Amino acid sequence: MYKRFFSAGSLGIMRLLIVSGIILVSCKNNKLAPSEVISEDKAEARKDSIEFARSKSLQARIKPVVFAQKESDIVHAKIYEDAVDDPAIWVHPSDPAKSTVIGTDKTNGLLVYNLKGEEIHYYKLGRVNNVDVCYNFPLNGAVYDLAAATNRSSSTISIFKINRDDGSLTELNGPGKLDEKLDDVYGICFYHSKKYNAFYVVVNAKNGWVQQWKITSGEEGNIHWQLARDFQLESQPEGMVADNELGFIYIGEEEYGIWKVTADPEENYKKVLISNTTSDNPDITYDIEGLSLYKAPDGKGYLIVSSQGSFSYAIYKREDPNKYIGSFKIIDGIVDGVEETDGLDVCNSYLGHDFPLGLLVVQDGFNDDNKIKQAQNFKYIAWPDIAKAFEPQLIIDTSYRNR
């Protein structure tokens, strides 16, 4: 489901109805008199409020607590629109303080923020859903860092060169309109196979199909796109992240669980279930949303997963068999806490004095300032605040560079 529990829009309608005193349904006992008829909006709002309360109560069971240090500027969407979706942190190769956060507004385009959360670039591209970055892609005798996003308006992948001088994006050639097999492009990640020295863009669609496109330097400075393989999951996936060193792609099947799939097409396709959303598993609650890897040396580190249905984040070990470590939540502090996260990205590089020991960026489904609702944005969390919320403390290591 796109937004299983509720949309910001319908919650907004709920609030408006309450404020204007025209809600007829008792929210106390959630029961309707037999003769009572409610509109679709009201029914949806009522369901949303129940789901919000349920997610909040699941969140309350999680003990490790973290505060965001910064929040990004709000997007150019309306206050009640569900707009912000997925961030990708780009680490500048020589001046870490010039690193950026590239984020999707799924109503209209891509935004680029600096490490203070200020918007520095904005590209109206249509309905881009998820975004990822990769480093040092060889193209036409040079190397470029790339950003790629699923574009639901044009049913394709929008791909860009990241300009190292100012973090702006220059569009390159995509693969064209994607195969009809892919019904509504949705999640995306890069995979740079260190073993085979190959670059891929992996894309999934709402109907469960996943396609892995090999990208190489083509003619006249263009990217050459070649479909390397595809496979289908049983229900809708979205969040994905690749482990470039260990050769796996992690995929969130939203209502079902987290898969770990062999990433190199040269090798046998194998998928292993890391965790699922059955009711007897308290670790994650559907939807499974953003996935990202915190990479420490020697194949160590963590897989971080947005457990959207419990307003929290689950942490698994990066190494086999991906043991569950625990979960944390982000609550009100200098900036507001985080609810119903879609996408996220984590990075362990030194990023200048704002984030010297790594950064987690998450989408916030309900942004407010002093309890006054605002359009959506991203929250920035310093990695040590997360690492120290656990006992024993998680690894804090900046030696791995994202490249």
* Secondary structure of residue 54 in the 3-state scheme: helix
Question: Should residue 81 be labelled a site residue for Ca ion when binding is judged by CB under 5 A?
Answer: no
Compute how many residues bind Ca ion; rule: CB under 5 A. Answer: 9
Q: What is the DSSP string of 167-229?
A: --EEEE----S--TTSSSEEEEEEEEETTTTEEEEEEEETTSEEEEEEEEE-GGGPEEEEEEE
Question: Should residue 238 be labelled a site residue for Ca ion when binding is judged by CB under 5 A?
Answer: yes
Question: Should residue 366 be labelled a site residue for Ca ion when binding is judged by CB under 5 A?
Answer: yes
Closer residue to Ca ion, CB minimum distance, 55 or 244: 55
To the nearest whole angstrom, how small is the minimum distance from the Cβ of residue 76 to Ca ion? Answer: 16
To the nearest whole angstrom, how small is the minimum distance from the Cβ of residue 22 to Ca ion? Answer: 27
Q: Which of 99, 156, 310, 367 binds Ca ion (CB under 5 A)?
A: 367
Closer residue to Ca ion, CB minimum distance, 186 or 383: 186
Closest by Cα among 228, 233, 283, 280 to 260: 233
Question: Should residue 118 be labelled a site residue for Ca ion when binding is judged by CB under 5 A?
Answer: no
Q: Per the omega criterion (within 30 degrees of 0), is the bond before 64 cis?
A: no
Closer residue to Ca ion, CB minimum distance, 122 or 366: 366
Residues 338-357 that bind Ca ion (CB under 5 A): 342
Q: Are 192 and 199 in contact (CB under 8 A)?
A: yes
| DSSP letter (8 states) at residue 133 | E
Please provide residue 19's backbone torsions phi and psi, each rounded to the nearest 5 degrees.
-60, -40
Closest by Cα among 268, 238, 242, 229 to 256: 238
Closer residue to Ca ion, CB minimum distance, 145 or 287: 287
Residue 284: how many other CB atoms lie within 10 Å: 27
Closer residue to Ca ion, CB minimum distance, 8 or 382: 8
Q: Which of 163, 369, 393, 403 binds Ca ion (CB under 5 A)?
A: 369
d(CA 183, CA 230): 14
Residues 51-80 that bind Ca ion (CB under 5 A): 71
Closer residue to Ca ion, CB minimum distance, 118 or 369: 369
To the nearest whole angstrom, how small is the minimum distance from the Cβ of residue 162 to Ca ion? Answer: 22
| Residues contributing to the site for Ca ion (CB under 5 A) | 71, 85, 238, 336, 342, 364, 366-367, 369
